[in-house]
Structure 1
């Protein structure tokens, strides 16, 4: 008995610093993977001979797999041990990162990204759990602060690192670079943390619920990803996927609400505060992730930015958020967090509407500065929303509520990626069709270019490129406008939630 107590003493000194660094790295790499490919989609698609729209599967496949694996973390940790699961996922994360870089086709890359997401999902909640386990109780706030900092920094570093690696080397290096860190850190974590392993339990898993979850989420995401290529519901394939998604979702709801030990505890939705905060989260995070996917694609394909410069520009949104997050976390525990969420989401929406007035003559700073100031809304949105969601559920339900928050956030990002990409392509085609009949009706522009020495084919190619560029610019602005409206709707939804009945530590939802 005495030996068991000693083995669970917190780490001290250099061991504590090393353990904290390894755990923080796991969280950093898992979250980094959600954004590192955003600026690399066009490079990956071109290298593997697919369209840019198919290239976005690299983003959605990881997000969907991660969303499915997050709710399983509790069962896996209880059944096999938190340390074993964490180390196994960490090492496999490194191996599948290597395989992603070695992929020679889009199908192969998407398959490995699915496995990468399944391994990355448990790393986020387990890294925080283990961080609190190895730190002395009096330093628990430092543990949460370190973990939360990696949560904020990783999405900022993703576009920058992805852009630099794509431009200086090639796209496989965005996956290769993570592998040695994950493999080495995984082995070190086992050596350092295995004495913290807790006794395992032979827990039963909700196999039916898990199967239904995989079926409806996968069917829905495939339908959204492929709908634009198959003329949506004019295709039997898309109709079939839609029916499977609906039946699977309804069956999942019925089963999980009646199962004694559900894989996803939907009963927490009986709390009005949790329901409303999750609606705000799904709308707001979907809108947020949509603009982070759309912006680098537009900048690289039609504004002539390299992946590196597009990464710098996109990452501007997170710079101020890193510095403001600790202050807002402290403020959210002292006052009603609902006004903070309202102001944050409304701020994001207003700046998105401002960005819907963009044009193709903008400089780097004209594109980037609005995103820098827009980022102020990020910590106002995410940090207080945690306090509302978890402050409205019972203490025993916090783990289930936190898991659901991660699931909804990740799934919203995946769905938003597909919908934004589809809407962008459709709106571009529509605008191009409208502008085509108005372009150079009298052939004056063509004649002027010919007089300047251009051939007919060159003149027509130039006009076609200008027409496409302006069509994309109008489509991009239209999408920004609708995304801005979605932010504003999400901001007002939060007022439907009651004030939380108790305070929750910042970072608890992660």
Structure 2
């Protein structure tokens, strides 16, 4: 199978898709499944509550640095060979993570796991686009998007169940059977792609890696280091700006840059990058906020948190499966607008959360948000690549994944920083009204008004909950505004006119 699209000659398309999605879900799950296991790792690995976070940081930074190089590696070694090698390496280092006996071992193995896992998601998207004709790209992206978006939702729940029922090490051991099944299926049926040798722009790769790595470190460690009051964060910000600036200048002036700048001349793809950045912010930022909110304010155990959040994933899967069948029959831009409006509506509902509500409002808003994000993700993933030349596809899917991950990191960092800052401000403002002369305090707790320490501590706990709830509401309002501000970008997208089945000619544009 060559670089041009020859879809009629691809046998076993269903088995290929199943194998690809097994590998994709395995990799995506690992970005969130280990989070809930961190407290259990502390004692076994001899780590502290601060240093254990490097288990997450090492994986995120390594994956971010290696994602952009996927296109070159695929051209140099072959897409199929790179995909199979990535799955094997990912599983091997998953097992080594599961048997790690010290923090240093765990961080090293997680870093290498991130290195091998970086190519899995962009290659899975590339292959699904390659093996399907253009009129079936919507269905292919629906299946791919379901794994990408539902994986992070079920990851914490699955990780919590494995940790409580067995041991934190099973968070990594579970990758073995999934990886073996994915490898066997892909080794047997995945078509080979003609290799395309091209030079490696080491300087461009180094500058992009510097920018991406420093940015990810800054975003991941910012909250722990109190952001810009720390010299480390300023250094990482400087390195990130320097790396990205030099990379952009080099890309525009070099004869053979690491990433061909002509890829950004495709208007749909460039607009799609902006959109997927926004989706990354909304999806994982809300997922980062809800579990601690449910456990801290509402007192839900880990399993209950997973049950309450599961309908969000169901909503996403339903909308993706539906839109995958209709995206080539109607204007995808309409679907994106409807999806953004539904997402904004769900965040508006979430901005009305209170400590006294039941779980129904959380479930219903989650379903609406899942439906909305699914309506955006599938047509966006389809239209963004509709007019792009096939030879740019692997580089483009790598950039697509990278921008989504950076959006997620930025979104999580912003809402987390706002949460901490606003909680302190809200606590100070609310407690300012509590004094011995307040008749409401006397009515609610005479003991606290009289100065009883135990009663005052109880009142302070109530103030903390209210201050925290207001801060969560402020974050939801911010994400709603970000969603609404993305609406005008729809007008930059152009609708593809799909060619008849079996026609490999590029789609025309309206």
The alignment's TM-score, normalised by the length of structure 1, stands at 0.82
Partner of 2:261: 266
Give the alignment partner of residue 291 of structure 2, picking from 296, 311, 327.
Answer: 296
Partner of 1:402: 397
> Is residue 2:229 matched to residue 1:239?
no
> Is residue 2:251 matched to residue 1:251?
no
> Is residue 2:482 matched to residue 1:486?
yes
User: In 2, are the aligned partners of 1:79 and 1:203 still within 8 Å (CA)?
Assistant: yes
Deviation at 1:26, TM superposition (A): 0.8
Q: Which deviates further from its counterpart, 275-284 or 466-475?
A: 275-284
Give the Cα–Cα distance (whole angstroms) in 1 for the partners of residues 113 and 497 of structure 2: 37
Deviation at 1:439, TM superposition (A): 3.4
Q: Deviations over 1:338-373 (max 9, x none)?
A: 221122112111211210111112222232221112
Q: Which deviates further from its counterpart, 74-83 or 305-314?
A: 74-83
Deviation at 1:63, TM superposition (A): 4.1
Partner of 2:201: 206
SS of match in other structure, 2:83? helix
Partner of 1:286: 281
Partner of 1:5: none
Q: Which deviates further from its counterpart, 135-144 or 150-159?
A: 135-144
Partner of 2:49: 50
> Is residue 2:429 matched to residue 1:434?
yes
Give the Cα–Cα distance (whole angstroms) in 2 for the partners of residues 268 and 364 of structure 1: 46
Give the alignment partner of residue 322 of structure 1, picking from 314, 317, 320.
Answer: 317
Deviation at 1:475, TM superposition (A): 0.8
Residue pairs, 1:68-79, within 5 angstroms:
68-79=65-76
Deviation at 1:437, TM superposition (A): 2.5
Partner of 1:418: 413
> Is residue 2:461 matched to residue 1:465?
yes
Q: Deviations over 1:55-96 (max 9, x none)?
A: 776556544433332332222223223333222221221222
User: In 2, are the aligned partners of 1:209 and 1:256 still within 8 Å (CA)?
Assistant: yes
Partner of 2:93: 96
Give the alignment partner of residue 181 of structure 2, picking from 181, 185, 205.
Answer: 185
Deviation at 1:142, TM superposition (A): 8.3
Partner of 2:370: 375
Q: Any gaps of 5 or more consecutive residues in structure 2?
A: 1-7, 501-510
Deviation at 1:503, TM superposition (A): 3.9
Deviation at 1:168, TM superposition (A): 2.7
Q: Which deviates further from its counterpart, 199-208 or 298-307?
A: 199-208
Q: Deviations over 1:375-411 (max 9, x none)?
A: 1101211111123322354454444333322221122
Give the Cα–Cα distance (whole angstroms) in 2 for the partners of residues 341 and 180 of structure 1: 37
Q: Which deviates further from its counterpart, 373-382 or 20-29?
A: 20-29
SS of match in other structure, 1:376? helix
Deviation at 1:327, TM superposition (A): 2.6
Q: Deviations over 1:420-467 (max 9, x none)?
A: 22221121122122223333545746653799xxx9554344333222
Pick closer, same or farther for the CA change 1:435–1:134 going to 2, 3 Å.
closer
Q: Which deviates further from its counterpart, 196-205 or 239-248?
A: 196-205
SS of match in other structure, 2:384? helix
Deviation at 1:161, TM superposition (A): 1.4
Partner of 1:477: 473
Q: Which deviates further from its counterpart, 455-464 or 385-394?
A: 455-464
The alignment's TM-score, normalised by the length of structure 2, stands at 0.82
Q: Which deviates further from its counterpart, 137-146 or 462-471?
A: 137-146
Q: Any gaps of 5 or more consecutive residues in structure 1?
A: 1-7, 506-510
SS of match in other structure, 1:89? helix
Give the alignment partner of residue 499 of structure 1, picking from 494, 497, 505.
Answer: 494
User: In 2, are the aligned partners of 1:60 and 1:418 still within 8 Å (CA)?
Assistant: no
Pick closer, same or farther for the CA change 1:187–1:354 going to 2, 3 Å.
closer
SS of match in other structure, 2:181? helix
Q: RMSD in angstroms over aligned alpha carbons?
A: 3.7
Deviation at 1:224, TM superposition (A): 2.4
Aligned residues between the structures: 487
Pick closer, same or farther for the CA change 1:403–1:211 going to 2, 3 Å.
same
Partner of 2:353: 358
Partner of 1:4: none
